[in-house]
Structures are given as structure tokens and as C-alpha cells.
Structure 1
């Protein structure tokens, strides 16, 4: 079993905020430089409307993020996923620790805590969050041994939700492909088709005594193709546009979509990866269930051949996804 460290949930109960969690002044959510003016909001797209594709394309170009409603994911599947996730984080600490991630294994899967040493690209500060990662697709890479046996129904809830995420991903890829002037199946094919990888994460952001100086997760773009995020009813996600941060308001039943690095690369910069960060709350636990949609690790991703021309040369290097991950995590040039 991996080495176990104190959870952020335990820190929350103690009422302490150790200095390694306190952000530098320019990066503090309470700082004037980062205050959201509230003048704009990330688009909310109704997927039952005929114009949903064009609105999605516009949002991907201008914001790198949007919310979707009437997306076809049953409310019961959402409720069950959230129920088993909350139940897992409510377990005694020693039971959660049985699933602790082992960094020495080179795998991301398992239970983790924000008190662990931060990655280099998080400005040396720790994140006010505990979390759980595991792959849900394709079946060949899924390790059910790392999935919790308790609560009952955890596996069934995650497998059901995964099926809806696969269908929703295909639909969004089709809209985004045609928005680039490509065949509707081009984006899915470029990212691996049936071998597309879905990585499920649960984020738990416990109450924080000093939410104005701490972040659940610092500002970043995701490495994958796109992220589909299910929030609970405690707001905290912010997206960056035009030099300022904007709150992503909670809309019951909505899913947040974040365009990520590989779509920006494939589109040769026409779509932009959405910079975002996670705030914390003084009184309530915020939770989210992001699904990271990734290419297979050995797949080479670069600007699509029809989008990199003599008049518009490639802005990004083509490389294996695993090499892109390594460079980004270790702050190496791409």
C-alpha cells in the first residue's frame, strides 16, 4: 500500500491552514487582480436546440469552456454517481487509505490527498482537495481492483455514467469537427476512435478557514482533449477570459465542458484550451466529478493535416500523447 499522508479533510476539521497551502499574493482568489467582474458568463448551450453545434463552436473559439443542458444524461445516472462518490469520501480515513495512489508505480489511479508534495507546475503550493482517480474506458486498461468495494453500487454507477460520457463525447466531437470544416467523424478518429480513454476523477474540496488565500486547484488547462465536469451545488469553478476570472454558475442538471490542450492542438489554435481554477468554500464541501477524455498514450496528436497549410502553418508539434503529458507535468518545452 502507498504511503498515507494527512488528508485535507482532516486539516479542515482541525481549522488550520498550513503555510504551504497559502498562495502567493498575485495568485490569491481574494486579490484584486483576479476579481471576477461578473460582466460575462460562460455560454450555456441547450443540446436539444438546432443551433447547439454552432454555439458550441463559438464557445470553443472564444471561451474554451461552456455548459450544456438537455444533454441526454439521465438525472438518475447523475444522482447515483454523486451518491456513491459522496459515500466514498464519507468513509473512515483508514478505509479510504486502502485505495491510496502509489506515485512510485507511475500510475495516477487511486485515492490521493492535497497534502502530498505538489507537482512542479502548481507553483510549489499544495491544493486544498482530496481526490480519487480511476480509468473507466476502454475496458482493456480498466483496473477494477482499485475501484472501491464500499459503497455498494460504486462500479455499476460509474460504468453507467461512463456509457453516457462516451455518447456525449462523440456528439460534441462531431459538432466541433464540422465547425472546423472537417468530416464529423474526423476528431474522434484523430483521437483514437474506439480506443479513446476516459479517466474519471472525484474532487472533494472540504471547508477551508481561509478561502481567500487558498485554491482547491490552481489555474491550468487540462492536457486531454476535453473535460466533462459534473459539479455539486456548491459553486467554485472559475474560467479565465479577457484578462479576468469568471464564475461558472451552478445550473441544476448542467454539465461543464472544458476544451483542453489536444483539441487546441488538433484545431491548430482555432479552438482554445480553457484556463480554469477551483475555489473553496468556508462552510461547505464542494465536490466535482470530471471525466478527462484522453487519446491513447502512444497516439501521435498534432494539427490536423487539413488545418495546417502553407497559408496557415502548423503552430504545434506533433507528438505522442504520453510525451506531451511528460513535458507538461515537468515544465519542459513542447
Structure 2
């Protein structure tokens, strides 16, 4: 790919230790009348990290967690005659903790490498350059330096760049300003010189969208609703791509790269670099999932847990940091179309499995996590309670009809309604 040659020729700057005058706004003793600035190029050298990044004793990381042996599913076999084993393994993992890995996924290794190289290049730019893409309050996309503008405590030790993605149907290309949506984002926000980045991530998102549909076939068979049910549901999607960068921290035992949370989205496709840091809470303890360069880590999100009527689990997970090496990851969050109604297929609802969650749209859940609630392990329960308390009906447009339909909140099992509490301290 010519675009890859273009990016590969660009040098990646190396951060330098800060001078004394640079520490005023980002060091541990900065003026608290000024907003905290997370400048990774400076804070990575601090031996006394700002108190906003120090997590409570009971939530501090265990840096040497035991390995969680998640199923390794060969997607080539799933498409062949050995599909039954893949379906069984995925179903068992998703009922227990919602995590598995896939290999032979068909995504070009060169594309993955270039996507990681672009992460390196972007996050090692000066903070002022990155701030050109600054995320605005109430929005889910843009550059965020530890979410210092949203939260004031238990801050994550990371930087992110998030942008929206929707697949372009072959017969009706969804272009922005004559360009695919991801390419347009990079040019519009960061300038023409970032067009190569836009091309790489447009291709990467296209690959992730295609891969997610194959995984939806696997999950549909695992749940007994057929290969095409969830594939068709997500054929059109309004998804989110996020680039994660975790700088070194001189006190990694005091902070977290990402706090404990369940993803509010439907499905996460994660590619880790070789550093490692992903941990999952299983059987009352934190376990690690080591990176494999040839594999993607897959996990169920809250929205798919609702689509499965609670049969598949959206599991608590977090990221830890280290004091030597930056860690980076590529996270593709598959989401339904914004106004598509999320409810389980009738085959997953019966006397033994009553409806656990009310009907909702992805746009409503996304708005809830951006404006009302810090995503954690109880996001879907808190959102469901909020829906039931604040509305009795939602007007949406269903995919089966061009007319507007009214979706009325359905009865929820009594076990769901007991003891709901909004917890705090999670992350995005």
C-alpha cells in the first residue's frame, strides 16, 4: 500500500525530560486554581504524581495478575467444517466472562502495524498539536488527555483519540465533503498533512467492521438464533474507533491506565501491542490477558448483553501501566445504528428468562454515558433504571418500516429492580 510507505518514512519524535519551568501546570504541585493538564511528555518522568491520578487503596492495581486463559478461536475453522467447536468455545466464554481471542482473522498484518505506527506518531507530538483535536464536553470523539476536563479524581493515566465510523454501502457511498468519514475527520480536524492517517484508519475501520460481522455470525449461532440475526442487525452500524496511549508512570502501583468498567458498546475488537496491561475481573480476582500480535481480543459490551437478554456477559476490565515502556492499543467499538431499537430476539425470552432490560437506542445510552454517568460496572443497570424513571415511551424509527413507531417500556424482571445503586469510579 502506497499510503503505508508514506507514513513509514515519517520520523517519530522521542519525548525529552521536562525543564523546571515546564512543570508548573502538569506537575504534582501545580497551581490548583488552574485546570490540571495531563502532558504525558512531562508527567512520565514525575516521581510524585498528582493526587488526582492516585486511586483508592482498594482499587489500586495488582501489577502481576495471574494469566486468564481465554479461548483462542480460529476464524478460518469457523468458516469451514470445524465451526461447531468455535461456536461452543465462544458461547462458553461469553456466558462466563465475555472475553475470547480470534486468530486467522483475515486482517492484513501490515495494516495493523501501520495503525500502531500512527498511534506512536500522533501521541508523541507536542501537546499543543494534539489539542487541535480536543474532545468537546458532552461528545464521544476527539482527543482526550486523561479526561481532566470531565473528572477531578481517579483519573486514568492515558491519552486517547476517538472518532466515529459508519460503513459505506457499495450502492450509496456515505462520504463527507466527498471523502469517506474517517478520512474526512483527520483532514477536517488536523489538516491535509494528516490525510495519510485518515486513509490508514479508514481501511482499518473497514476491516474491523467486516470482522465484527463475522463474529456476530459466531455469536448468533452460540445463542441459537441463527448465523444471520445479529449480522443483519449490525450490517449498518454507527461505531467508534479509539486509539489508546498509556505513557510510563513512575508510580504504576498508585494509578490505573483505565479504571474498572464494562464497555457500554456492543462488541470491542482490541489489538494490543507487545507491552501488555489488560486485566479482567473473573472469579473475584483480577486476571491478565497477554498480548498476541496475531490475535484480536474480543469482548462483549453492555449493549450486546441487552441484545442477548443477559445470557452473554459484559465483564469488568481495566488497564494497568508500567514505569518503563509506553503501551498502546487499538479499540474498535461496534455499535448499532444510532436510532435502531435494542431488544433481544423472541427466542431468548421465555418464562425462565424474562426480559432483563427495557428497549432503548444506542444514541440514548451513549448520551447517558457522556452527560449523566461515568461508565463503570453498573452502567447498563443504572441506565435501565434511569430510562424507567424518566420516560414511559421512546419514539424511534425501526429498520423494518419508514414510519415512526412508539416503543413502550416493557416489564422488567423483579430481580433487576432490587438494590440498584449508582457506583462511581469507572472509566470510558
Would you call these one fold, judging by a TM-score over 0.5?
A: yes
1:205 and 1:216 in contact (8 A); partners too: yes
Change in Cα spacing, 1:98 to 1:290, as seen in structure 2 (3 Å) is: same
2:256 pairs with 1:222: no
| Matching residue of 2:248 | 207
Change in Cα spacing, 1:229 to 1:148, as seen in structure 2 (3 Å) is: farther
Task: State how far apart, in whole Å, the 1-side matches of 2:50 and 2:325 are.
Answer: 19
Q: Deviations over 1:178-229 (max 9, x none)?
A: 11111211113334x22x1221111110000111111011111101110001
2:164 to 128, 135, 151: 135
1:223-302 correspondence runs (5 A): 223-302=264-343
Task: State how far apart, in whole Å, the 2-side matches of 1:20 and 1:203 are.
Answer: 20
1:10-49 correspondence runs (5 A): 10-30=42-62, 36-38=65-67, 40-49=68-77
Q: Deviations over 1:55-101 (max 9, x none)?
A: 22221112211111111111111011111121111222222121111
| Matching residue of 1:197 | 238
Change in Cα spacing, 1:316 to 1:128, as seen in structure 2 (3 Å) is: same
2:231 pairs with 1:176: no
State the secondary structure of the residue aligned to 1:315: coil
The higher radius of gyration belongs to 2
2:97 and 2:313 in contact (8 A); partners too: yes
TM normalised by structure 2 equals 0.70
Q: Deviations over 1:147-200 (max 9, x none)?
A: 664456211111111121111111100010111111211113334x22x12211
Change in Cα spacing, 1:319 to 1:255, as seen in structure 2 (3 Å) is: same
**RCO higher in structure (CA 8 A, sep ≥6):** 1
Question: CA RMSD, aligned part only?
Answer: 2.3
Change in Cα spacing, 1:149 to 1:247, as seen in structure 2 (3 Å) is: farther
Aligned length: 321
Task: State how far apart, in whole Å, the 1-side matches of 2:70 and 2:149 are.
Answer: 33
State the secondary structure of the residue aligned to 1:175: helix
Unaligned stretches of 5+ in structure 1? none
After alignment, is 319-328 or 250-259 more displaced? 319-328
1:53 offset after TM fit, Å?
A: 2.8
1:265 offset after TM fit, Å?
A: 0.8
TM normalised by structure 1 equals 0.89
2:204 to 127, 139, 161: 161
Change in Cα spacing, 1:110 to 1:180, as seen in structure 2 (3 Å) is: same
Change in Cα spacing, 1:4 to 1:201, as seen in structure 2 (3 Å) is: farther
Q: Deviations over 1:223-267 (max 9, x none)?
A: 111000111111100111111111111112211111101111111
Task: State how far apart, in whole Å, the 2-side matches of 1:274 and 1:85 are.
Answer: 26
| Matching residue of 2:4 | none
Task: State how far apart, in whole Å, the 1-side matches of 2:331 and 2:59 are.
Answer: 23
Change in Cα spacing, 1:98 to 1:28, as seen in structure 2 (3 Å) is: same
Task: State how far apart, in whole Å, the 2-side matches of 1:333 and 1:112 are.
Answer: 24
State the secondary structure of the residue aligned to 1:230: strand
